[in-house]
Amino acid sequence: MITRKFAAGLLGAALALPWPMRADEDGAAQVQALLQASQRAKQAYETQIEAAKSADARASLDAKDPDAAFARQFLELGKKLGADPAAAESLIYAVQGDSDGSTGREAMELLGRDHVNSPQLEMLLNSYPHPRGPAAENLFRAIEEQSTNRVLRAQSMLILAESFKDYRPDEAEQVLRELMEKYGDVDTPAGPALDLARKDLVFVQKLSVGRAAPEISAGDLDGKGFKLSELRGQVVLIVFCGEWCAPCRALYPYERSLAQRMQDKPFALISLSSDPKETALKAKQRERLTWRILWDGGSTHGPITSEWQIQGWPNLYLIDSRGFIREHWTGSPGTQVMDQAMHKLVKEAEGAKPDGR
């Protein structure tokens, strides 16, 4: 058993920089040694998080998350290893530990410049979520253009389309159509590239930002019927969630506050639960969830979740008073971002003419 005190000591020791490497170890052994150290540090950190007694205590531990510190070590090791095949693996761990930061961006630049034909790239392409942003876009374009592996090239195009499909749907559609033409015969680990591209094309055409939101017809936890179209004239935040999802549970305090602050506004908060009904009902009572919670059959593969192609939780759609998708977030973008987006749309709704224009 790892005690909280022991976990704190282990985490502090693991984060001591730099992590010692034996000079006689080959590149692969050095990467594995650093990986094991990072895993021990992460386990210690998660033990502290679980032992924290309050949300404030958990928040105070955020700065101690070891991912970014180890990402920097993986980056430095990858640079040191140079042409060693293990360098690509180390750089990929750097990306996974700090995909949004300067460390991850530098690692992606090195991968695209020096390791575009490394078989280790499968690790990055087959993991989820994929990195986003200009550095990631450059990396995936480099793989598609330069790799000798057609599977990796097809996967890179699928990832590019995925990163475009919410806010750059025209570019996403262009990438997908090119993929279908060039790699329609390729089988990827996730399935035939042609089938995956066709599915993504449906998303781009029906679920990307700027499209009219598809109808949702479902029953809520109280057994009452619900139709999304009945909320026309209101801004709607739909949260695909589940009790099994820790980041979903972490949103409860914000959602309670939001429901209270917006109760006299043209706004509706709707949760769509992937839990068994009994679990969802217990959570509603325990967490004092006062807004409508729809039930999707007790599965992450329920009919509504499947139609909306939900692939990560929590998944949030913000719909304006005319019924158009205005924002889509996989994972919470932060309360400030959500508040700003919602207040803007609510202000628009309050100023709208009776006919909705």
Domains contained in the chain, CATH given: 1-31+63-130 (no CATH), 149-208 (no CATH), 217-351 (3.40.30.10)
Mean residue pLDDT across the chain:
90
pLDDT at 46: 87
* pTM as predicted: 0.75
C-alpha pair distances (Å), 346 with each of 58, 177, 319:
32, 37, 10
pLDDT digits (tens, 9 = 90+) for 21-76: 555 579 999 999 999 999 999 999 888 888 877 667 777 777 788 999 999 999 99
* Tokens representing residue 318 in the block: 């913000």
pLDDT digits (tens, 9 = 90+) for 203-215: 999 999 999 999 9
Note whether 40 and 10 are within 8 A (CB): yes
Instruction: Classify residue 207 by its DSSP letter.
Output: T
| pLDDT tier, 335 (very low <50, low <70, confident <90, very high otherwise) | very high
Residue 141 CB coordination number (10 Å): 15
Mean pLDDT within 170-176: 95
Cα(301)–Cα(311) distance, integer angstroms: 10
Phi, psi of 216 (to 5 degrees): -120, 120
